Each structure stands twice: as structure tokens, then as C-alpha cells.
Amino acid sequence: MTRLSEKLHLLHIIIKISQFSLSTLNLLKALTFKTLTFIPSSIMGEDFFSFHNSNTDDSSIFDLDYDNTRSSAAAASSSASGFFSSTLYRGWFSNDDDDNDFDKLYLVPYRWWSEVETVGEQVGVLYNVISNFGGDDAEIVLDFRKEEGSERSEDTEEGFSGREYAIISGRMWLQALKRHNDSKGVMKVVSGSFIAEDYSQDVFPLQIRLSVSRETNSLVVKISSKDNLVSSYRRACNIFAPKSKLLHIWDFSGQTTQFLIDDKINLPNDTLGEQGKEITLELQAYGFSDSMTVRDENFDEMVEMETSFESGSVKMNGCTDHVRSYSSLRNSQSGSGFRVFGYLGLRGLQNLGNTCFMNSAIQCLAHTPKLVDYFLGDYGKEINQENLLGTKGELALAFGDLLSKLWTPRDTPVAPAIFKRKLADFAPQFSGYNQHDSQEFLSFLLDGLHEDLNRVKSKPYIAIKDAEGRLDEVVAEEYWRNHLARNDSIIVDLCQGQYQSTLVCPACNKKSVTFDPFMYLSLPLPSTTMRTMTLTVLSTDGMNLPTPITVTVPKCGRQKDLIEALSIACSLRNDEMLMVVEIYKNRIFRRLTEPSDSVALIRDEDKLVAYRLLKDNRNSPMVVFMHERVERPCEFERAIPNLKLFGIPFVARLENLYTGFDLHKQYLKLLSPLLMPADDALNDYDDVGITTNEDSTMEDVVCPTISDSNTGSDTGTEDDQCSSSDFQFYLKDGMRSTEIKMNEPLPVPKFSDNLEVYVTWSESMIEKYDTCLLSSLPEVLKPQLYARRPQESVSLYKCLEAFLKEEPLGPEDMWDCPSCKKPRQARKKLDLWRLPEILVVHLKRFSYSRYIRNKLETYVDFPIDDFDLSTYTSKKDSQFSNHYVLYAISNHHGGMGCGHYDAFIDLGYRKWYEFDDSRVSPVSEDDIKTSAAYVLFYRRVA
Ligand SMILES: [Zn+2]
């Protein structure tokens, strides 16, 4: 408070403020209340500040401060001190964040303002201003006298004399600036040049002292060289033309009416009516310095025009510069007489720590036509305070504030800290500084803005009526009306469209049509290329070695496509089937059991095995043999030897396996292809064992194995004897491990369809079999170091077609058919029905599943000039065009989680810029199509 008190020079009652607005006046008023105990009330009464009460109609004009609801509350009760303290707090702290031009007043040439101001939108008050140049004391004194009946009439030629100015609010100024900028864009493209000049020297602050003259019922403005920079004062001299006697100044800001109401000075006699009571305020003068620069170019034109302004209150001597510039303006139509200040909307956003996802999306929205105009305009009146789904306007206000900062001509980046805080209040997942998905952010933000700005104050309950054979047009219109009855905001106006969604029951052909709204299209990326995948095929009959087989499948295909391709490649017999599993650390890690799963869920570095199984015994429990061997940690240590798994597990059906001996025999059979060729001449059984396939020969295979493994004396007479020395079998059931005895029946657990058997190999067996054959397991795709895979390309239209394609619903989201009264896997078809003005297209690059998060780097070939949706809309008689142009792209570079976002944005007229956090730089249109494109922003063209 002491800091604030110091601002008030109460003895002189010169209240020096830098921002003069309703909120500032409230602030002053608050201060007045706060300090009343110290000052005699005769010096500072309440009346001076009570002008709100008598002028509530103008509150929309006063709406410079976004907190207009509080302002009107103040108007209603002038002594609500709770309100004032909150205003005080906010007003003071908002300055900490960033520069805010919205509470400032701007003085601009009337003509400049009127060129872009919507006719009849603003009501101005006209003052005749007599200027007196003090000369020696270096002070300009301006006497503002309100013109009688000065409500603005539209047919007069006001403002064209060049001696007329307008006082406008910061918001109005910014809107005008943007509109001038937009129209300059056209001009610049035509002329083929692009000049960015320093606009900042064109805005200069002018400290003026304001007082009210009781004698003349007028405002007295003093501009002193003491208060101002020399350059500012000189320019002020130029503007207010000290030798001239009369100027016209229109006040569109509504501020001066606060001093003069009904032509009476609204001040108590004993207070500010006294001489010497002044308020210092800062006025931003804009649009004057250029008048010098254009003069030479258009001199001929101006001389021609000059004569027509000889009449009226204009004094030509001493102020001809201005007259010339304005008259030249009048000729050139486009406003070229005013300074070219470069393109607006080129301010970057600071990265607050992984906030590039947010910055990228904000910049896209901040350059969305109509949305910008909306948020630069008087949107405060649309804030929905009651909506519980929103933030009572806080998010919308923070966004609007951010947007206006982005459109204020400055070259410093904006720190979106307050906005981020408000966003986190609404959607807590965005608090903190983690990387997020820009599309997810966008969707939350649009939702939040919609709720904050929803014009519907209480949402009616509407029962959905059945289509009952009515025309699509009628039903769709009804859906849309119902939607608008509950949801009506700028976001709906601009961004929402309507799908036609048709469900057909596969059993009874019952058809159901709905027309639901959408805010963006989320398109899948269909693949045009194939994916090469290598799997190891393993027979379960002991006939073949493990064989790697390479197949190609559509990259976005399903697992059934993979199995089909494999079946052909390995000549699968009709009585066989494939069981595909992923092997991890010599175990079966998972079985690929869902044929409709995408192959994208299989990573290139995975190791897959396909077991050939007989269809016949598919209901028998399965035995999975895992091989383990003794591995001594260190030769010299007498530590307990470790058992370590190796090789690809074997699989067999439990059919005809009753005892440990059966299991043993089966295992040997599966192993037989791996038997090393014996260099022992005595043994010629090996070859026979491998090549024959009759059951009778299996014994032959077994016997030599046994005989070799033994010491040689008792050759293979008893199976029990030999088994103990070659392999040992253990049944694993949870944590328990039971040795399987050869003569005993298998201890099969009840209800088990999967037996895990660990087979421990003896040293001699490891020598006997070629375990390398079992252990070399290729990856699905070997990393290719020599060449990058060719980039695949898919057109945006193909993505859209994939999205709209008729598909059966997944088993997890069955449709309850109202006709059969049963859940059905209905066929679903989407069509576009109503297209929004702003079409946001999200490319589904990220896939999430139980196991894997994946990003597709597919290059999507998207149209820039003409995205034609005519053939994709089911509504035929639309009054709107189905043609769109691209104006913004949110890009994601790099992999999942660690990537970076930026944006490409068309500033109008095909001038593209890259917005990379705080860095903004031009980019050629040829370079904007990349595989990083993630969210595309299109606008409709007429
Ligand atoms: Zn049905």
C-alpha cells in the first residue's frame, strides 16, 4: 500500500497514472476509499469518481478491462469495498506478467481508424479542440469542447479533412492494426515486395495533463515538454499544430465522457473544479510519423488534392504535411499512406519447459481467422459465468489475453505463464512440465473455451428421437438444432461439424443413423507399402530344423495377414495350424492370439516363432519344453552351478503322452533334426533317424543316442537307465519344480492346458546336438545400417477414405441392436455431413497398445490450396463450399516422448512462417510438407 500511496500526490491532486481506464479509475477509487481516513473528505470526495452510475449504457465501450462483469457490479454498488480490493490486487499484479496494451488510450488519425472500423459499431463523442501554443514555456494547451449534438452521423465526410483524430482504446487500436495489416497483405502480394519496418517508433507515449475548466465546460489538456521526451513533444507539436486554432477529436473510447456528462462538469464545486487540479495520463499517439515518409512519393497527387481542403476549420499553414498525407490516402484506397510496419502476429512464445506442444497449438489457434478477431474484440460479454463445466471464464480470458499479446506489435516473445496456470486449473494433467500431445492439448483447450463461452446458460434436456424413416436432412437438422440448444459458442460456430454415422445389424439388417457433432477429424494413416517380417518356423514333428522365413505384409495389416503369408511361405498343410509366439529370454513371452490385432504391435526387434501344430489335437493340453544347461559361474569357485535357459522352446501336444518315458521320447524326437553328424564309423543310424519319418524308426534314433551317452557297456536295454544320464525333466508349476519320473504317469495339474517342462541337459548331450541351430533366432527385421528405408507416402484423401470406410465394430464395442435386442458386431460407416468453417485434421501418428507405444513417420501428402471434400460429404445440397485451404500445421519431430513441436503458419497470402517457441522465421511454402505434420488446420474458401 505504501507503494500505491506514493503514486498519489494528494496534496496537489495530480494523480499520475500510466494506464487510464475503467479499471484504473476503479483502482483510484479503491485507493480513495483506502486513504479516506487520512485525508479530509472535503479534498477528495466520492462524487468525482461516481460517473459510472449515470452512464451504465456505455459499459460495453468501457470494456477495456476484461473484468467487465465486476465493473458493472461496481456501477451497481459503488461502495462494495470487497470488489475494489480484488480489482486492486489484479490490476497491480497483471503488470508483472507482460506488457498489456489494453488499458491504454490511443490517439490516431481519424481516417486511419475509420478505414477499418465497422460502420456504426462505435459511438463517438466529438470535441472541437482549440490549441494554444504557449511558446516559451514549451507547453501546448488544448481546450476540448464538446460539440453540440455530436452523435456521429454516417453520411458526413468527417475525418477526411486531415484535422480530425480519434481517441480509441487499446483493443480497438489492435483490431484496427490487424485489419490494416490484413489489407496490406493483399497489397504487398500484388506488388511483390515484402517490407518489414520498425513499427515501434510509430507509437509514442505522450504524457498529458488533464483538467476540467469550469468556466468553459471543457476539458483542458496540457502537453508539456517537461513531461515528455523531446522527440515526443516535437511530434506532439506537429500533430496538434500549435498555430492552428481548431481540431476535431472524436472520442470512441468512452473515456472523456467520464469527465463531462450532459455538458456539465461533473465535479463538486469545492474539489476538482478548482484551478490546477489535474490528472496525468499517458496517451499513445499512433500513425503520425509516417505522414513525413509518404509525402515525397505521393507529392504530385497531394498537390492535386490539397486545394479541396481549403475550406472549413482547417488551417493550411503550419500543418500542410498532414493534410497532404491524408489526401493521398484518400486516393490510394488501401491505406498505403500509413507506415508499413511489417506483418503483425509474428511474436513467438517462450518455452517454459517442455511447453512446445502448447506453443505449437496456440500459435495455430492464434492464427485462425475469425477466432483471432473474436478474441481481439469484445468477447468478454459472452463469458459464461454459470457453466460448471467451464472455468467461469478464466481460461477464455487468459487465452484472449495471450492472443492479444501475440498480436501486439513487439519483437519480444510472450511468456504464456498465466495461461498455462489457468489451463492446469481446468485440466490438471497439464500442470507441471512434462511433454504432452499437442492434439490432446488442443482438444482440451477448445473444449474449455467452448464451455467458458457457451452462450447457453442452462442446457435443456432433450430426448433423442428415432429417425423412423424420416429424411436424412430432417433428422440431421434436428440433431444439429438439439446440439445448438445445449452448445452455442464461437468454437461451435467455427470448428464444429457433423458426422453421419450409420450402423447396420449383421443379423437383421436393422439400420440406425445418427448425426453427431465433431470438433476435428482424427484420421488413421493407411499404409501403401509392405512390411518385411522374419519369423522362425518350427515343426513339432521332429522333421525339420528351425527355419527362418521372411514374408511381406501390409504395414498396417493385421496379424491374420501375417499368419496367412507365413502359411503360404512354409507350405502349411491343411491339417496344420500355426501358433505364433514372441520369444523373450528363451521362454514363450506371449502368444499372438488376436488375429485382428495390428502387426504394428510387433516391433522390428522382436523375435517371433511360429510352431506348426496339428489341428486335430488342438484341444489337448500343450507341453512347452524349455532347455537348460549347467553354467558354472567360475571354474575355480566351488559355487553351486547355475542352470541357464538356452534355445527356442519346443512345443508338443500332450496327446499320447502318459508317462515320463513318453515325454522323453517326444523330446528326443523333436531334437532329432539337431543331432550332430557322427564321425564314428560304427554309427550309421543318425542319417536314417533324420530322414525317415515312420514311427517305427524313432526307436532307432533313440537307441544310438542312449548308447553313446552311456559308458558303452550296456547298450540301451533299459530306457530308465539311459534317461537319467542324458536329460532330466522337471515340471514347473508356479514356484514348484517336480522331477518327472520315467515310469510314472505325468503329474498333470488339473485344468491346465499348458505344461511347462524344464529339460536339463548333460554335458555329453550338449556335445551331441547342434545347439547353435536352436539358439540362432533372428529378429523380425534386422536393423539395416546401410540404407534408410524408403519413406512411404500416402495422400490425405487416402487417410480420409480409410477413416470413412465401412468396418465391423470390434468385439469390445458391440452394438445393442434394437431390433434383435442383442449385442451385435454391427457394420459401421461414417460420412461427413456438415463441415465446419475451420477444419482441424489430426493425423494419428501415435499408436498406444498394451505393449507398445509407436509413432508412424509416414509422409502424408496433404493439399495446401484445395482440399476438396465434395465427394466425401453425404449432404448434397450444402449452402457452403466443400473446398478448404491450409493455413497452419502443428508439427511433431522425433520419437515418442522425446520429440519437439513447432508450427508452420500462413500469415496470409502464402507467407509461411515457422513458429518454433520464441523463434519465428520465414519458411518457403515448398518446405512445409514434411513427415512431421501432425495436426493440419484448414479454412473453408467460398
Ligand atoms: Zn439386429
245: left (phi over 0), alpha (psi -120 to 50) or beta: alpha
Ligand 1: centre distance to CA 478 (Å): 25
Ligand 1: centre distance to CA 507 (Å): 5
Ligand 1: centre distance to CA 508 (Å): 4
Nearest to 882 by CA among 936, 935, 835: 835
Cell numbers linked to 675: 543331432
Mean pLDDT for the chain?
72
For residue 518, the tally of other CB atoms under 10 A from its CB is 19
3-state SS class at 260: strand
Tell me if 687 sits within 8 A of 673, measured CB to CB: no
Cell numbers 544310438 label which residue?
704
Ligand 1: centre distance to CA 822 (Å): 7
3-state SS class at 920: strand
Ligand 1: centre distance to CA 5 (Å): 77
What is the rounded CA–CA span in Å between residue 257 and residue 266? 10
pLDDT along the chain (942 residues), means of 10: 36 34 39 32 31 30 30 34 26 39 75 68 75 71 73 46 75 81 56 41 77 76 81 78 69 68 42 56 72 34 31 25 29 34 77 93 95 90 91 94 87 90 91 89 95 92 82 92 95 95 91 94 79 87 84 82 89 90 90 85 88 83 87 62 85 81 87 76 43 38 37 40 68 78 75 80 84 80 55 85 86 85 89 95 80 76 94 82 95 83 89 92 92 96 86
Tell me if 71 sits within 8 A of 22, measured CB to CB: yes
Cell numbers 500442470 label which residue?
431
Ligand 1: centre distance to CA 826 (Å): 8
What is the rounded CA–CA span in Å between residue 594 and residue 859? 29
Count each helix (H run) and each strand (E run) in the chain, helices first: 25, 41
Ligand 1: centre distance to CA 465 (Å): 19
User: Could you say which architecture CATH assigns to the domain 530-614?
Assistant: Roll (3.10)
User: For residue 896, what are the CA distances in angstroms to 255, 353, 846, 852?
Assistant: 53, 17, 8, 11
Helices 660-671, 698-709: inter-axial angle, 10-degree rounding: 90
What is the rounded CA–CA span in Å between residue 208 and residue 485? 50
Exactly one of 319, 356, 364, 722 is catalytic; name it.
Answer: 356
What is the rounded CA–CA span in Å between residue 879 and residue 669? 75
Distance of CA 432 to the CA centre of its chain: 17
What is the rounded CA–CA span in Å between residue 553 and residue 561? 6
3-state SS class at 317: coil
What is the rounded CA–CA span in Å between residue 825 and residue 76? 61
Cell numbers linked to 395: 481460461
User: For residue 213, what are the CA distances in angstroms to 217, 260, 863?
Assistant: 6, 10, 65
For residue 425, the tally of other CB atoms under 10 A from its CB is 15
User: Which pLDDT score, from 0 to 100, does residue 685 have?
Assistant: 45
User: For residue 616, what are the CA distances in angstroms to 580, 654, 656, 940?
Assistant: 18, 12, 13, 61
323: CB partners within 8 A, 6+ apart: 161, 162, 163, 302, 306, 309, 314, 316
| CA dihedral (429, 432, 436, 439) positive or negative | positive
Tell me if 555 sits within 8 A of 527, measured CB to CB: yes
Strand partners of residue 578: 612
**Cβ density class 381-407: b for 16+ within 10 Å, e for less:** ebbbeebeebbbbbbbbbbbbbbbbbb
Tell me if 674 sits within 8 A of 774, measured CB to CB: yes
Cell numbers linked to 142: 488544448
Cell numbers linked to 476: 440431421
58: CB partners within 8 A, 6+ apart: 254, 257
**Cβ density class 681-690: b for 16+ within 10 Å, e for less:** eeeebbeebb
Nearest to 881 by CA among 870, 866, 895: 870
Ligand 1: centre distance to CA 594 (Å): 25
Where in the chain are all domains bearing CATH 3.10.20.90? 530-614
What is the rounded CA–CA span in Å between residue 562 and residue 550? 10
What is the rounded CA–CA span in Å between residue 240 and residue 237? 5
What is the rounded CA–CA span in Å between residue 555 and residue 152? 68
Ligand 1: centre distance to CA 815 (Å): 9
Ligand 1: centre distance to CA 816 (Å): 8
DSSP 59: G
What is the rounded CA–CA span in Å between residue 253 and residue 562? 70
Q: What is the DSSP string of 796-834?
A: HHHHHHHHHS-EEPPTTS-EEETTTTEEE--EEEEEEEE
150: CB partners within 8 A, 6+ apart: 124, 125, 126, 127
Burial-class residue 575 by CB neighbours within 10 Å (0-12, 13-18, 19+): exposed
Ligand 1: centre distance to CA 813 (Å): 15
Ligand 1: centre distance to CA 820 (Å): 4
SS3 breakdown of the chain: % helix, strand, coil, rounded to 5?
A: 35, 25, 40
The DSSP element (H or E) to which 889 belongs, if any, is strand 883-893
Ligand 1: centre distance to CA 560 (Å): 27
Decide if domain 498-508+796-940 falls under CATH 3.20.20.140: no
DSSP 749: P
The DSSP element (H or E) to which 235 belongs, if any, is helix 230-240
User: Which pLDDT score, from 0 to 100, does residue 5 have?
Assistant: 37
Ligand 1: centre distance to CA 466 (Å): 16
Nearest to 598 by CA among 912, 827, 917, 852: 852
The DSSP element (H or E) to which 96 belongs, if any, is helix 81-97
Exactly one of 483, 883, 893, 900 is catalytic; name it.
Answer: 900
Burial-class residue 587 by CB neighbours within 10 Å (0-12, 13-18, 19+): middle
Ligand 1: centre distance to CA 475 (Å): 21
What's the N-to-C CA distance of the chain in angstroms?
Answer: 57
The DSSP element (H or E) to which 246 belongs, if any, is strand 246-251
Ligand 1: centre distance to CA 808 (Å): 14
User: Which pLDDT score, from 0 to 100, does residue 639 have?
Assistant: 61
Ligand 1: centre distance to CA 470 (Å): 20
Beta strand pairing call for 279-286 and 14-16: parallel
User: Which pLDDT score, from 0 to 100, does residue 270 have?
Assistant: 41
Ligand 1: centre distance to CA 714 (Å): 73
Tell me if 553 sits within 8 A of 531, measured CB to CB: yes
Ligand 1: centre distance to CA 832 (Å): 25
What is the rounded CA–CA span in Å between residue 23 and residue 667? 88
Cell numbers 481481439 label which residue?
376
For residue 522, the tally of other CB atoms under 10 A from its CB is 15
Where in the chain are all domains bearing CATH 3.90.70.10? 498-508+796-940
Cell numbers linked to 93: 499484479
User: For residue 536, what are the CA distances in angstroms to 30, 475, 575, 648, 778?
Assistant: 81, 55, 20, 10, 7
Question: Contacts for 273-276 with beta carbons within 8 Å, 24 or more apart?
Answer: 273/212, 273/214, 275/211, 276/12, 276/211
Cell numbers 490528472 label which residue?
279
910: left (phi over 0), alpha (psi -120 to 50) or beta: left
User: Which pLDDT score, from 0 to 100, does residue 100 have?
Assistant: 54
| CA dihedral (846, 849, 854, 859) positive or negative | negative
**356 tagged catalytic:** yes
* Amino acid making up residue 515: F
Ligand 1: centre distance to CA 823 (Å): 8
Nearest to 143 by CA among 162, 155, 129, 126: 129
Tell me if 503 sits within 8 A of 827, measured CB to CB: yes
Ligand 1: centre distance to CA 800 (Å): 28
Ligand 1: centre distance to CA 876 (Å): 29
Residue 871 phi, psi (nearest 5): -80, -5
Strand partners of residue 265: 260
**900 tagged catalytic:** yes
Ligand 1: centre distance to CA 828 (Å): 13
Tell me if 29 sits within 8 A of 49, measured CB to CB: yes
